[in-house]
Structures are given as C-alpha cells and as structure tokens.
Amino acid sequence: MSEHSPVTTLAEDDCWQMLHDQEFGRLAFHLADEVHLVPINYAIDADRRIVFRTAEGSKLLGLTMNADVAFEIDEFTEEVARSVVVRGRARQLEGHEEDETELLPLRPWVNTAKFNVIVIEVDEITGRQFGLTRPWLHMRPPHEE
C-alpha cells in the first residue's frame, strides 16, 4: 500500500474469512423512520448467512418491518484498519430452520429463555483497508510513545 492510496479494497474471500473469524458485529436497521445500530454476536452458517439471536421486541420489529439491513465488522492495528460491510435482507427463522441453528457457536448475550433467531441473507459484501496516519503528531515536538 503506497502512501498515496491509503484506502484499498479487500478481496471477497478475505471479507468472508474475516466474517468467519469474528463473532461480534454491528447491525444497522430501520425502525419506523429512524435508523438504529446495535452490537450483535453472530455466526456464519453453512449457507453463508449471518445468524444471530435476539430477545428484543423493538429490534425484531424493525427487522420485520424493514428487511433491508447493513452489518459491519472490523479489526484494526496501529497501522491499518479493515472493515467489512454486508448489505442484505433479514428475516426470522422458525420451525426446523430455527432448530438447525442450535449448534452454531452463538453466545447468548441476553439471558432470557426465549430467543428469536434471525438470519441475514447476504446480497453484497465489501471490504476496505485503511492506512492510518497520525498527521497531528507532526505538529508536536518529537517524543517517546
């Protein structure tokens, strides 16, 4: 990555690898006219869908009313940040489809007996890597970090 192109595109395979490696992401969805953003614990199933559980009524309502969602994961070091954004459609699983998700490694962040299982069917996946610079450090006298 040259100094003059701090943003590069990640290959789709690398995006999927990051989705498989991680388990914590952020979901954006509509609720009436508002946009909402919540952290979720997720897993990727055998059909490359993003699966998560929720016990929250409003969150679920938002997904039911507006299936269009965006989902993001990222990782970063001192030098680079990588972000993968998925666009897709969310729907609630029921019956045998729901049962099939029981062996996925999903952490139950909300401790209730009843969970709703939601899947996001992925329409689009894009990843970017950002080179991070700290220009304001040049404004300061040299120092030990």
Choose one: 10-18, 31-39, 46-54, 113-121; the region binding its own copies (CB under 8 A).
Answer: 31-39
Should residue 20 be labelled a site residue for its own copies when binding is judged by CB under 8 A? no
Should residue 91 be labelled a site residue for its own copies when binding is judged by CB under 8 A? no
Q: Which of 12, 39, 61, 65 binds its own copies (CB under 8 A)?
A: 39
CA distance 107 to 116: 13
Q: What is the token pair recorded at 138?
A: 């040049």
Closest CB to its own copies among residues 84, 93 = 84
Should residue 42 be labelled a site residue for its own copies when binding is judged by CB under 8 A? no
Should residue 69 be labelled a site residue for its own copies when binding is judged by CB under 8 A? yes
How many residues sit close enough to its own copies to count as binding (CB under 8 A)? 42
* Contact partners, residue 9, CB within 8 Å, separation at least 6: 126, 127, 128, 129
Should residue 72 be labelled a site residue for its own copies when binding is judged by CB under 8 A? yes
Closest CB to its own copies among residues 66, 92 = 66
Should residue 110 be labelled a site residue for its own copies when binding is judged by CB under 8 A? yes
Beta-strand ranges (E) seen in the chain are: 7-10, 24-31, 34-41, 43-44, 50-54, 68-76, 80-93, 116-131
CA dihedral defined by 35, 39, 64, 67, rounded to 10 degrees? 70
CA atoms in the 13 A half-sphere facing the CB of 46: 5
Residues contributing to the site for its own copies (CB under 8 A): 4-7, 24, 26, 28-30, 33-39, 41, 66, 68-72, 74, 76, 81, 83, 85, 87, 103, 105, 107-111, 130, 132-136
